[in-house]
Amino acid sequence: MRRSRANVSVVFAAAALLAGCALKSPPPPDEVRQEALGGMAVRDPWKAAATSSAAVQDNWLATFEDSQLDALAAEGVARNLDLRVAATRVEQAAGYVNLAKAALRPTVGIAGTGGIKLSDLSSALTGIIALVSWELDLWGRLRYGEQAAQATYAATQADFEFARQSLAATIARSWFTATETWLQQQIAEEMVRAAQELATLAADRRRVGVGNEQDVALARANLGTQQDNLRQARFAHEQSVRALELLLGRYPAAELKARLDLAKLPSAAPAGLPLEMLERRPDLVAAERRVAAAFNRVGEARMARLPQINLTGNIGYISSDILELKEDYENPSAGVGGKLRAPIYTGGALDTQVEIRTAEQKEAVAQYARTALRAIGDVENALAAAQALAERETLLQQVVADNRLALTLTQSAYRVGKLDLRSVQQQQLSVHAARIVLLRVQSEQLTQRVNLHLALGGSFEMGRTAPPR
């Protein structure tokens, strides 16, 4: 018995040594970028606008100095249902890692047989046996699978982090939109009041004999148009608030109160360099980890063409009332053994599996290239949009001022009879349109700043650890 146990220890120790063959490492991120992007200049500054090359800062949400927006983002991260779905994917990926690790370890089980004697007949054998089985990972097939699961897990974690950042950015944009639509509603109400004043003035002019029925009809028609515009503005605001409430995991009752003025646009944010963005953005980290996972799956498929060896061991106690056991049989008994399985002909299945995994690796590299190029485009577009919007805001401020002055002069001329009602209405519409365009540009500036932060990969909060590689 002691000899058997010693043999078992020797066999398993030798197996542990044999199972330690080194694996090939996946290509590092620099090589993945080189293969995916070729000679693209990612170490040069951004092209669309002059920016600070200082490191990208986290906690960008706080730069808008809006405590209610901070609270809404925290609520959305805690309650958003899409993010909850993404979190379950992380849990699933962690489970697959545990499964891959389990394949590297021995399995232990118990088998037994027996019964209750009800007559002279009884079961032939009674006993219990403990069984141990361990597949020797001689070539690294199981370890390649475990590393692939680890890389997939890291990619899923990075996807979850990017989903968090995207959610915070979407909440911020929706919050700004809710404020914009509320301000549009205020402008529409002002236009209704102005139209009512014109209608009253037109009726008064007709009563004293300096106006006519046509002016009254035009004033009423203008009033109806402005009232319809106000109703549309209210509906647009309600819809924007409902969309925000859904992001927060709330019932979409349009009960959330929007901010009464647009947040102040923060000062220009440092943008770093394109290479730094590629190393930092969670979705790019996820794409690079999927390249590593695909590399390990290729190794796993290649090692599947080599022989597999399983070591087995058992120890147990067996007795029988019917059968006579061998004279030299002793209880308890133990034994060790092994199984060899070597593929000789599989119809090309194993080679095809290698080809499929190789194609998947090429796809992962191509997906990384596509994601990286889109990320670079996101930053360049946000920078270009910010510069164009800043120039437009300066121009539109002057347009609004000029239109308001023209409206004042037109109203004075109408009161003394120099101009008709059509001129006043047309100028009012011009003021209204100019204010709406200016408001839209100011809101879009905030949106593009959020887009820039998201594209650069900086976190919306402090203390968030970088996605694992």
**Which range marks the domain in which residue 142 is found?**
2-456
CATH number of the structural domain spanning residue 194: 1.20.1600.10
Domain contains 105: yes
Confirm if 352 and 331 have CB atoms less than 8 A apart. Answer: no
- d(C-alpha 19, C-alpha 148), whole Å: 18
Q: What is the mean pLDDT of residues 215-239?
A: 94
Q: How far is CA 233 from the centre of its chain?
A: 32
Residue 467 lies in a domain: no
Q: Any idea which residue has 């389990």 for tokens?
A: 102
- Give pLDDT tens digits for 278-333: 999 999 999 999 999 999 999 999 999 999 999 999 888 877 666 566 666 677 87
Q: 31 by DSSP, 3-state: which? A: helix
453, 269 in Cβ contact below 8 A?
yes
Looking at the domain assignment, is residue 462 inside a domain? no
The pLDDT tens digits of the residues spanning 39-87 come to 888 889 999 988 888 889 899 999 999 999 999 999 999 999 999 999 9
Q: How far apart are CA 34 and CA 227, in angstroms?
A: 60
Average pLDDT, rounded, for the chain: 89
What pLDDT, on the 0 to 100 scale, is given for residue 4?
Answer: 47
Characterise 127 by phi-psi region: left (phi > 0), alpha (psi -120 to 50), beta (else). Answer: left
Total of domains in the chain: 1
Q: Does 461 fall in a domain? A: no
Contact (Cβ atoms closer than 8 angstroms) between residue 181 and residue 142: no
Token pair listed for 320: 């029988």
Which is nearest to 166 in space by CA: 269, 84, 282, 280? 282
Length of the chain: 469
Q: Could you identify the residue written with the tokens 């002691």?
A: 2
- Residue 330: the pLDDT is 72
pLDDT tens, residue by residue, 401-442: 999 999 999 989 988 878 877 788 889 889 998 999 999 999
User: Which pLDDT score is estimated for 463?
Assistant: 66
State residue 323's pLDDT score: 57
Q: Is residue 272 in some structural domain?
A: yes
436 lies in a domain? yes
Specify the 3-state DSSP secondary structure of 388.
helix
Q: Could you tell me which residue, 466 or 344, shows the higher pLDDT?
A: 344
pLDDT, residue 20, reads 56
Say which amino acid occupies 438: L
Taking alpha carbons only, the member of 5, 10, 25 closest to residue 299 is 25
Q: How confident is the model at residue 122, as a pLDDT?
A: 53
Centre a 10 Å sphere on the Cβ of residue 55 and count the other Cβ atoms it contains: 13
The reply to whether 468 falls in a domain is no
What is the Cα–Cα distance from 177 to 171, expressed in whole angstroms?
10
316 lies in some domain: yes
pTM of the model: 0.86
What pLDDT does 116 receive? Answer: 61
